[in-house]
Amino acid sequence: MKGLVKLEDIEAIEKAIFDSYEEGKKIDTIDIYNKPDQAEIHELLDNLIRVFYPTYFRDRSYKIYSHKHSFGVIIEDVFFHLHKQVALALDYGKLRGTMSSEVRKIQSYIICKEFFFQVPTIREYLESDLDAAFDGDPAASCYEEIILAYPGLWAITIYRIAHELYKLHVPVLPRLMTEYAHANTGIDIHPGATIGKNFFIDHGTGIVIGETAVIGDNVKIYQGVTLGALSTRGGQKLSGKRRHPTIGNNVTIYAGASILGGDTVIGESAIIGGNTFITTSVDANTRVSMKNLEMDYHTTDKKHMTEDFKQSEDWYYEI
């Protein structure tokens, strides 16, 4: 095999690729030290989660006898790295070229300070989310199980961190954070979405919540739910406009439901059944379901038969 490899071929391949780097494409910039770093963002998120849930996750980095001292070191470490990453991110998106390096460092410090002062408030929201998960899932044996094992709470935690940075107008980083959760849980929550207290995601895989979605308090969502836009054909012309639905307080949305459109409002205490497709508003205290579903059977030795799947008044279900 070694004898088949010709150095001139390898050099020609490298030259062709290197030449392509000089063509001015948007993907060409080679400047790894002046861009937000995914790995660093992931590491600081893991450390931040230790701050939000003290003593739940093993600390492998710091060996300090006092828990408070240990968490103090973690907080300072995260502040340092977040400050660095925010300063880099402030040169991206709509802010590109508007600040010097020194101004970005100053602005980054202000943003990080404001973010960390909001940590106690974020923890209040997470406490309510934890309660919602325990109260809403009979399979949960204890709070510890939810914190350590439930992907829904993990995705919500990262969303709430990212959302705070989104509100502080930090480019790029909030999306890197929520995509980290998306990759690990299959739950895709845009950091721009607004979500109230006592939010419970059950199972979670395949959930999509768009940037301009608004979700009230005490909302429960099952796997495969989409809170999306009717169309994105307008591209960047739709940026900043309401494209995603509003979900009122005390709403339950079952598996596979799609609720689309910025003008779509789901009223308080509504129950949205599985596999429904909703593009218009739903009044408060309303149940929406798919009725008279048909199941088709195809076999080689019997005639084709159709069976109606009749639904009773207790059509809604839990898994």
- pLDDT tens for the 319 residues of the chain, in order: 566 777 888 888 878 887 787 777 766 665 555 778 889 999 999 999 988 998 766 665 555 555 666 778 888 999 999 999 999 999 987 777 788 999 999 999 999 999 999 999 999 999 999 999 999 999 999 999 999 999 999 999 999 999 999 999 999 999 999 999 999 999 999 999 999 999 999 999 999 999 999 999 999 999 999 999 986 666 666 667 789 999 999 999 999 999 999 999 999 999 999 999 999 999 999 999 987 667 667 666 655 455 544 555 544 444 4
Give the separation between CA 315 and CA 319, rounded to whole angstroms.
13
The total domain count for the chain is: 2
CA dihedral 216, 110, 46, 200 (to 10 degrees): 0
Give pLDDT, residue 74: 85
Residue 200 has a CB neighbour count (10 Å cut-off) of 26
* CA dihedral over 144, 148, 151, 154, signed as positive or negative: positive
| Same domain for 285 and 151 | no
57 burial class (0-12, 13-18, 19+ CB within 10 angstroms)? middle
Give pLDDT, residue 121: 96
Task: Please list the alpha-helical segments (H only) found in the chain.
Answer: 7-20, 38-52, 67-89, 101-117, 119-136, 143-149, 151-167, 173-185
Give pLDDT, residue 130: 97
Q: Tell whether 25 is covered by a domain.
A: no
What would the two tokens of residue 260 be? 């689309």
CA dihedral 124, 125, 126, 128 (to 10 degrees): 90
Beta bridge partners of 228: 260
| Same domain for 231 and 173 | no
Give the separation between CA 189 and CA 155, rounded to whole angstroms.
8
Q: Tell whether 225 is covered by a domain.
A: yes
| Same domain for 116 and 56 | yes
Give the separation between CA 111 and CA 56, rounded to whole angstroms.
27
What is the domain extent for residue 131? 31-188
Give the separation between CA 42 and CA 30, rounded to whole angstroms.
22
Give pLDDT, residue 155: 97
Give pLDDT, residue 298: 65
Residue 36's CATH number = 1.10.3130.10
- Domain end (from 188, 211, 239): 188
Closest CA to 247 of 222, 231, 269, 279: 269
| Same domain for 268 and 198 | yes
> Length of the chain in residues, anyone?
319
152 burial class (0-12, 13-18, 19+ CB within 10 angstroms)? buried
CB 204 within 8 A of CB 224: no
Give pLDDT, residue 161: 97
| Same domain for 163 and 135 | yes
Q: Rounded to the nearest 5°, which phi and psi values hold at 215?
A: -120, 130
77 burial class (0-12, 13-18, 19+ CB within 10 angstroms)? middle
